[in-house]
Amino acid sequence: MDAVRMLLESQPLLTLFVTVALGYVVGEISVKGVALGSGAVLFVGLAIGGFAPKSAPPALLGTLGLLLFLYGIGIQYGDQFFKGLTSADGLKANIAAALGVIASGLLAIAFVPLFGVKLDESLGLFAGSGTSTASLQAAMAAMKSDGATVGYSVAYPFGVAGPILFLYVLSALLKPHIERPPPKLIETAEIALRNPEFIGSRLADVKTRMPAGIAIAAVRREHHNRPPTDDLVLQADDVLLATATDPAALQRAISLFGELQPGRMTSHREDLDYGRVFASSKLVVGRMLRDIRFPEGVVCTIAHVRRGDADLMPNQDLILEFGDRVGLLANRAHMKPLRAFFGDSIKGTAELSFISIGVGAALGLLAGAIPLPIPGVGKLALGLAALLLVALVLGRVRRVGPFVWTMPLSANLVLRNFGLTIFLAQVGIASGPKFFATIGVAGLSFLLYGVAIALALLIVTAIFCLWVFRLPFDMTVGILSGATGNPAILAFANRVAPTDAPDVGYAMIFPSMTVVKILFVQIAAVLASG
């Protein structure tokens, strides 16, 4: 064993990746549907750090990992986050979650005078109960100690399992009636124009009177399919190729325009053919559909956009991202230049600009280094919380000149999960010796403190969501997932409420609550030291 210890202590990078590998093996172990996931890397790191005390990699490596995680979160959820701040439900959701986070934080602080818990350990309990690695880093930096890691590691398991159990009990008590929505797939209908109200009208004027969620992909006249240009004047018996993700919307369109006549258009491709391309060119990525200018002489209609596992309607405000699969209707002779125009490379699913990442991260770090005056607290630098805020703004803006801030979802997930893993491994290894020195003395009491903090967060948030603001149950479980933070909780919430609302609630809440948790830790540390 001494030889193994010497090897680990002499090769810190080897130790780091052994921790990562073993951590994910442990993280996949499921007990009644609950698994620690990437959080298990921290516990393996603590064990290895306790066994080989001098094996920790440099702290800067862990900070870099957390930076990648927070930057990826901001870039992905920027749009949903700002929409949430401007909507009535989004404001209610953020207020409810903030009250829950603050209540749990105040309870954690109360343990210091009540039970003699050290402040850094109490802040670690707060971070672990909310599974917030960013708060853990903030506590370690503010307190200039690794005591927060002890509290974090004890509270973290219940921070994952507790909310899942809470959601299960809440669902069993309330018994909400939630229907699983049908998958969002593009459906089509060929509609012969019979309604005299639209005969002789320009297609641009007709579009303003169509049912919501309907798009016209092509028009057939005199046995020829043609693109749906805005200046096209509709005639009797024109056949409209309507598309929608909602079958009910298609039925309304059929009733409005005329009658269904399937097979008139899709079987004739001599004028317009269908092709699917990957969006991987900077000529289209980061641009709204209305701003895309096709090559000279090329006439094309965007029929739909598939992003991840969902079909998106080709609204003019839709912004293309790297890796989007775009369905096109165009003449076969134009397909080759269109593929070159869009890029059509599968590499787009993993494409990201390291220039944009470098500039964006540098702006975030610069903003985090600026001390800001806070009444009653003094000057406080936001640190990595500012980086998250900058990333949220960039994720909302998506593109500025040559800088495309967005990333494909697959690349984003890889980047931020790798960063989070590196952070947890480095922090675990570095904190192992102190963890084992403390846990033997205060292990059970710390666990009970962590349970109390997590329950305070869940109960306060749930009360305000369900009974004060009367938000829907499916959105509430997403808000609870975002307030507690772990993706495993969101995955369980999606099983409890199989709609889109949990994902929307999570996206509106998770970034802002991450910032709230970081600021709470920093302010508590400043006030305590003052």
CATH 3.30.70.1450-classified regions of the chain: 187-349
Largest CA distance in the chain: 89
Phi/psi at 305 (5° precision): -130, 130
Local confidence band at 487 (pLDDT 50, 70, 90 cut-offs): low
Instruction: Give 275's strand partners.
Output: 328
Q: What's this model's pTM, rounded to 2 decimal places?
A: 0.73
Strands annotated E in 195-247: 215-221, 224-226, 239-244
The pLDDT value given to residue 349: 60
Local confidence band at 479 (pLDDT 50, 70, 90 cut-offs): very high
pLDDT tens track for 304-336? 898 877 788 888 888 888 888 899 999 988 999
Q: Is 90 exceeded by the pLDDT of residue 456? A: yes
Q: In the predicted model, what is the mean pLDDT of residues 453-464?
A: 96
Local confidence band at 79 (pLDDT 50, 70, 90 cut-offs): confident
CA separation for the pair 468, 491 (Å, rounded) = 26
Buried b (16+ CB within 10 A) or exposed e, 485-505: bbbbbbebbbebbebebbbbb
Q: In the predicted model, what is the mean pLDDT of residues 411-431?
A: 84
Q: Is 90 exceeded by the pLDDT of residue 419? A: no
The pLDDT value given to residue 476: 95
The least confident of 118-122, 454-458, 496-500 is 496-500
Q: Is 80 exceeded by the pLDDT of residue 92? A: yes
Alpha helices in 281-383 (DSSP H): 335-342, 354-369
The pLDDT value given to residue 187: 84
SS3 320: coil
DSSP code, position 39: G
pLDDT tens track for 185-235? 788 888 999 999 999 999 989 888 888 889 898 998 888 888 888 899 999
Q: Is 90 exceeded by the pLDDT of residue 483? A: yes
Torsion of CA 209, 211, 213, 217, to 10 degrees: -60
The pLDDT value given to residue 423: 82
pLDDT tens track for 264-279? 677 777 788 889 998 8
Sheet holding 273-278, edge to edge: 273-278, 325-330, 300-307, 310-312
The pLDDT value given to residue 466: 95
Q: Which fold has domain 187-349?
A: Alpha-Beta Plaits (3.30.70)
Share of the chain above pLDDT 70, in %: 93
